């Protein structure tokens, strides 16, 4: 079995899972936060998530591995994070639209990555994450007239789901990496 890009980046899924878990808990624990606080917290998450994915894509370039979707995902996260932090006076409806678009684009990128991944590489879990992202993105866009409370609850639930799936992907890929190393050592 060939060690591919996913096997070497299991840690990035675990890191993203930890970040999603932290922000998901914050969104659910403080749903009555002000619009400015909500937008700032979401902006910070988008910037961190975007930066992690841009760094991953750079590593992938040097390894001569597919990097395009990861870079797109990261750039969009960075751009939306910068908008959220620098323009906190935007209305909740606009923030909800941006968040919904980001989650939908992330879902599309995850599905595209899953299609490009080899069999037995965890692509099913990545595809499920992409489909869930699409569903949550559509729900967020449908809720644009909602309150900060409802949007934060929806995003909090979404981030907890992402955290769980990222942990599962990271553990699966870590185990597969260990299995491949063991097979190579025995050969």
Specify the number of domains making up the chain: 1
Asked if residue 17 has pLDDT above 60, the reply is yes
Contacts of residues 175-179 at CB distance under 8 Å and 24 or more positions apart, as own/partner, are 176/7, 176/120, 176/121, 176/122, 177/3, 177/7, 177/8, 177/10, 179/1
CA 177, CA 172: separation in Å to the nearest integer? 9
- Owning domain of residue 28: 5-186
Per-residue pLDDT band at 33 (split at 50, 70, 90): low
Give residue-wise pLDDT tens across range 105-125: 989 998 998 898 887 777 888
CA 70 to chain centre: 10
Mean pLDDT over each residue of the chain, to the nearest integer: 83
pLDDT of residue 141: 83
Give residue-wise pLDDT tens across range 168-182: 888 888 888 888 788
pLDDT of residue 4: 54
Give residue-wise pLDDT tens across range 68-82: 988 998 999 999 899
pLDDT of residue 97: 81
Is residue 96 exposed (0-12), middle (13-18) or buried (19+ Cβ within 10 Å)?
buried
What's the average model confidence in pLDDT over 81-96?
Answer: 75
Asked if residue 164 has pLDDT above 60, the reply is yes
pLDDT of residue 27: 81
Give residue-wise pLDDT tens across range 134-153: 998 888 888 776 655 677 78
What's the average model confidence in pLDDT over 102-106?
Answer: 90
CA 94, CA 157: separation in Å to the nearest integer? 20
> Nearest to residue 103, comparing CAs of 41, 158, 44, 151?
158
């Amino acid at each position: 079995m060939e060690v591919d890009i996913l096997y070497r980046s299991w840690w990035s899924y675990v890191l993203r899972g930890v970040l999603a878990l932290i922000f998901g808990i914050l969104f659910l624990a403080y749903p009555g936060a002000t619009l400015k606080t909500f937008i700032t917290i979401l902006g910070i998450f988008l910037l961190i998530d975007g930066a992690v994915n841009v760094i991953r894509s750079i590593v992938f370039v040097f390894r001569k591995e597919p990097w395009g979707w990861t870079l797109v995902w990261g750039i969009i996260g960075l751009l939306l994070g910068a908008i959220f932090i620098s323009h906190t006076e935007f209305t909740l409806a606009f923030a909800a639209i941006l968040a919904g678009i980001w989650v939908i684009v992330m879902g599309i990128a995850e599905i595209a990555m899953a299609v490009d991944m080899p069999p037995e590489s965890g692509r099913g879990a990545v595809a499920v994450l992409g489909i869930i992202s699409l569903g949550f993105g559509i729900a967020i866009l449908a809720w644009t007239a909602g309150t900060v409370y409802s949007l934060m609850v929806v995003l909090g639930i979404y981030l907890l789901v992402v955290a769980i799936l990222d942990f599962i992907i990271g553990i699966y890929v870590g185990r597969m990496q260990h299995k491949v190393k063991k097979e190579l050592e025995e050969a």
